[in-house]
């Protein structure tokens, strides 16, 4: 059994560390965030993810997983799972990958393995990491093995997907690929595909870009449908009967720390990434499109009251990073709107978070931003009882028009231009 250090115990590093620990590896989580380290050492987690709490509690109790704020120098494998945020000019901020790589240098010895899991621009391993790792004095690819193995887990299903998804392992040489494959074999039941580090970086970016471009197409369909008097959701439902068509769902925009950012890494690196660039812009324009729709429905914004239901970047998680609904709320507030909010998952991540039947009081419109399970079987009569004007805008095609209308409210649907 190898001892493994996971650098960065956030959304990706923590479940990965816990999975390795559950297979009997000694795992050390290294993170500068004392709050995360202290919580982990108590067997607690500070993020919401189904199944993760129990898994962490169990492996910490058994002594397989510990955390610390310094990099341990006695591990066989160092997995870098730090964030790769984006700068205001949409270029990648690689400072965390760089400092994690530097932290590893004094800790590694002959035979160690360094793996980059963080999503990174093409050539990061070759051009950023290897020059730093050479400072260890070890022969790269022989005495120190290096690879990129991108995480591909879906928030909300990370435990299941860590185990069952296939895994790409891109070594800087074959020896590295083979050694890293062996590491992941203890937790991955899916296929492990071997390639080069730069191809692995490109694969990960193209997976999320594929989704971003396809969501952009769905969002463009929603805009065209409102313009041309069509219901986009009917179009999607029927077009998708075609055996080779699968149009995704329009919505208030693309959020999260992955799909909303990763395509920019390609735009930064390649002047040919034109469709990718335009898709990013399309998706980023959706909060404003929703804001304009709200304005049209309630006849202005300044001084009006809007209740927002769901602010996380997608349903049934607590993550508000890059959430398009958070952008929408900022825009509405900037236009003089009194915004009230209800999100059963976001907790204190959103200020003034209210209960389901409180947040709608006095509003001129209720906007469903995210289709959390808690909103599924709402009592529309109770929900709309104290609204100033009974307007509901559904941005997810989640509620039934007939249910809303039965409560005497008007139902508007993003992408429906038929009314
Ligand atoms: N969305 C739509 N319409 C759709 C599907 C999604 O508007 O039809 C929006 C969601 O509301 C959300 C955003 O897109 O705001 C992204 O959600 P998501 O569920 O598609 O993906 P993420 O960001 O949670 O996770 C993605 C996954 N990538 C792919 O499916 C290709 C996951 O496998 C990756 O591991 C993750 O990015 C990552 O960490 O890179």
CA 45 from chain centre, in angstroms, equals 18
Could you give the strand order of the β-sheet that contains 192-196, starting from the edge strand earlier in sequence?
Answer: 65-68, 26-30, 3-7, 77-80, 112-116, 144-148, 167-171, 192-196
Along the chain (419 residues), what's the average pLDDT of each consecutive run of 10 residues?
A: 95 96 97 96 91 96 98 98 95 98 98 97 97 98 98 92 96 98 97 98 98 98 98 98 98 95 96 98 98 98 98 95 97 98 96 97 98 97 98 98 98 94
Ligand 1 site-directed mutation target among 50, 166, 204, 211, most atoms within 8 Å of CB: 211
Residue 186: per-residue pLDDT:
96
Could you tell me the distance, in angstroms and rounded to a whole number, from the CA of residue 319 to the centre of ligand 1?
A: 12
CATH code for the structural domain at 230-413: 3.40.50.720
Q: For the chain, which residues make up each domain, given as ranges?
A: 3-204, 230-413
Residue 1: per-residue pLDDT:
85
By alpha-carbon position, which residue is closest to atom 34 of ligand 1? 152
Residue positions annotated with a catalytic role: 204, 258
Beta bridge partners of 275: none
Q: Is 215 in the pocket of ligand 1 (CB under 6 A)?
A: yes
Indicate if 230-413 has the same CATH topology as 3-204: yes
Please give the DSSP secondary-structure letter assigned to residue 412. E
Contacts of 368 (CB under 8 A, 6+ apart): 309, 310, 375, 392, 393, 394, 395, 396, 398, 399
**CA–CA dist 412, 231 (Å, integer):** 11
Ligand 1, residue 211: give the atom nearest the CA.
31
Q: Is 233 in the pocket of ligand 1 (CB under 6 A)?
A: no
Ligand 1, residue 317: give the atom nearest the CA.
24
Ligand 1, residue 215: give the atom nearest the CA.
3
Question: Token pair for residue 98?
Answer: 């760089």
The pTM for the full model equals: 0.92
**CA–CA dist 36, 259 (Å, integer):** 25
Residue 46: per-residue pLDDT:
85
Question: Token pair for residue 125?
Answer: 């391993």
**CA–CA dist 200, 170 (Å, integer):** 5
> Does domain 3-204 sit in CATH 3.40.50.720?
yes
Q: Is 157 in the pocket of ligand 1 (CB under 6 A)?
A: no
By alpha-carbon position, which residue is closest to atom 37 of ligand 1? 258
Angle 417-418-419 from CA coordinates, rounded to 5°? 95
**CA–CA dist 224, 374 (Å, integer):** 31
Ligand 1 site-directed mutation target among 120, 165, 203, 208, most atoms within 8 Å of CB: 208
């Amino acid at each position: 059994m190898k001892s493994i250090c996971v650098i960065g115990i956030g959304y990706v590093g923590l479940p990965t560390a816990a999975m390795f620990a559950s297979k009997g590896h000694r795992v050390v989580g290294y993170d500068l965030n004392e709050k995360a380290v202290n919580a982990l050492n108590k067997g607690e987690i500070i993020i919401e993810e189904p199944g993760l709490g129990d898994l962490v509690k169990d492996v910490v109790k058994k002594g397989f997983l510990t955390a610390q704020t310094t990099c341990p120098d006695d591990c066989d494998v160092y997995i870098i799972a730090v964030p790769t945020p984006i700068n205001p000019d949409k270029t990648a901020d690689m400072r965390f990958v760089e400092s994690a790589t530097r932290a590893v240098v004094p800790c590694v010895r002959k035979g160690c393995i360094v793996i980059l899991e963080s999503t990174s621009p093409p050539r990061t391993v070759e051009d950023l990491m290897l020059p730093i790792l050479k400072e260890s004095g070890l022969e790269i690819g022989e005495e120190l093995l290096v690879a990129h193995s991108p995480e591909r887990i879906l928030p909300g299903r990370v435990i299941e997907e860590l185990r069952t998804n296939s895994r790409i392992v891109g070594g800087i040489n074959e020896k590295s690929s083979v050694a890293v494959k062996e590491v992941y074999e203890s937790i991955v039941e899916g296929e492990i595909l071997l390639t080069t580090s730069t191809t692995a970086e490109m694969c990960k970016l193209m997976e999320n870009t594929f989704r971003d471009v396809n969501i952009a197409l769905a969002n463009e369909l929603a805009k065209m449908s409102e313009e041309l008097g069509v219901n986009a959701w009917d179009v999607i439902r029927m077009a998708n009967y075609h055996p080779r068509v699968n149009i995704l769902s329009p919505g208030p925009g693309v959020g999260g720390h992955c799909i909303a950012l990763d395509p920019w890494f390609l735009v930064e690196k390649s002047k040919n990434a034109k469709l990718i660039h335009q898709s990013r812009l399309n998706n980023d324009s959706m909060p404003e499109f929703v804001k304009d729709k709200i304005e049209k429905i309630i006849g202005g914004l300044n001084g009006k009251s809007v209740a927002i239901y769901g602010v996380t970047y997608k349903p049934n998680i607590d993550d508000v990073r890059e959430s398009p609904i958070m952008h929408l709320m900022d825009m509405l507030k900037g236009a003089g709107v009194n915004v009230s909010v209800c999100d059963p998952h976001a907790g204190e991540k959103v200020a003034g978070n209210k209960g389901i039947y409180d947040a709608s009081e006095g509003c001129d419109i209720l906007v469903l931003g995210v289709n959390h399970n808690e909103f599924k079987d709402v009592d529309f009569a109770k929900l709309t009882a104290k609204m100033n004007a009974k307007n509901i805008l559904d941005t997810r095609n989640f509620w039934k028009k007939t249910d809303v209308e039965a409560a005497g409210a008007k139902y508007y649907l993003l992408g429906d231009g038929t009314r």
